[in-house]
Amino acid sequence: MKIVVLGGSGHIGSYLVPKLIRDGHSVISVTRSDRQPYTASDPAWQYVEKKFLDRSNTNFNANVAKLNADVVVDLIAFDLDAVKGLVTALKPTKLSHYLFCSSIWAHGHATLLPSDPNAVNKEPLDSYGKEKVACENYLKTEYRQNHFPATIVMPGQVSGPGWIIINPVGNLNPKIFQDIANGEAIALPNFGMETLHHVHADDVAQVFYLAIKHRNQSLGESFHAVVDQSITLYGFAQAMYRNFHQAPQINFLPWPEWKKYMEQPEFQPWHEKYADRDGDVEKTYYHIARSGNYSIANATSLLHYHPRHTILETINDSVHSYIERGVIQYSEH
């Protein structure tokens, strides 16, 4: 089949595209620029066709439609207008499957755990989650009423070597890892019992790959792309102290005090290069406010999905990459 992957050199696409090539598909990787995928050393990339298209351009949807793909994997849609525009453009083509990348952030506050990816009463907390839910609802309606061949995949915190991952306090500031590596004390918000959901990009790609392979079972469905466990902030921090052969020094602060702690000047120099534009405290809030646990039962039963990487394996791979890239400084000698 001809498969177009929008965002083909990003975190998920870097692992998905080689899987599709090895399965014998003709793959077009669509990106804004000629950036290197995280799996650039994989020989499968020499068989990938590359297209450079910017979604902000008005002719983006038409240009994707002109590729006349059997399958479109959309890893870069973040609002309803983007999805509606592309769906409208794809309807007259030979498309047989459209896969949309949502997020566990679509869930927001949970009532029963583990959360069901096909739940209809999701309560997202921020604009990102609300847009993802709007896209999900639109695609489910298009599938039911107009037979548009849609599947929804909802990754957790996509992690792996080569980029910055969520840390033990729920944000992107690598200083926490450096402090742990140095054997220094850290402070967790509340009691450290909130949960995170790191998942290796390779396993997220696996869900997309299996949904394509088992098309009939995946149409109209939503699937969580996570592992079958979550990790508490406290468990994450403990594991990192062990990883760096340091004795744990973990303190706990009520949320208002923890916010002030994170506003100390010593944390600020890391922000410009590594933290996201929303800031450390806000990112932590949205991660720990939702916490939760996410079922992979339907991905296992319908797609035969079995994660290859545990949470700690994924985290350790990522942190080892930090050391290799000089993001943090550590030597066992």
pLDDT in tens, the chain (333 residues): 999 999 999 999 999 999 999 999 999 999 998 889 999 999 999 999 999 999 999 999 999 999 999 999 999 999 999 999 999 999 999 999 999 999 999 998 888 889 999 998 899 999 999 999 999 999 999 999 999 999 999 999 999 999 999 999 999 989 899 999 999 999 999 999 999 999 999 999 999 999 999 999 999 999 999 999 999 999 999 999 999 999 999 999 999 999 988 877 766 545 455 544 457 888 999 999 988 899 999 999 999 999 999 999 999 999 999 999 999 998 875
Q: List, in order, residues 6 or more apart from 194 with CB less than 8 Å away.
A: 170, 232, 233, 287, 288, 291
The C-alpha atoms of residue 257 and residue 264 are separated, in whole angstroms, by 11
**Residue 11 CB-density burial (10 A; 0-12 exposed, 13-18 middle, 19+ buried):** buried
The C-alpha atoms of residue 282 and residue 93 are separated, in whole angstroms, by 42
Global pTM value: 0.94
Q: List, in order, residues 6 or more apart from 44 with CB less than 8 Å away.
A: 17, 18, 21, 22
- According to DSSP, the β-strands at 2-6 and 71-74 are parallel
The C-alpha atoms of residue 223 and residue 213 are separated, in whole angstroms, by 14
Q: Helix, strand or coil for residue 122?
A: coil
Token couple for 256? 């208002």
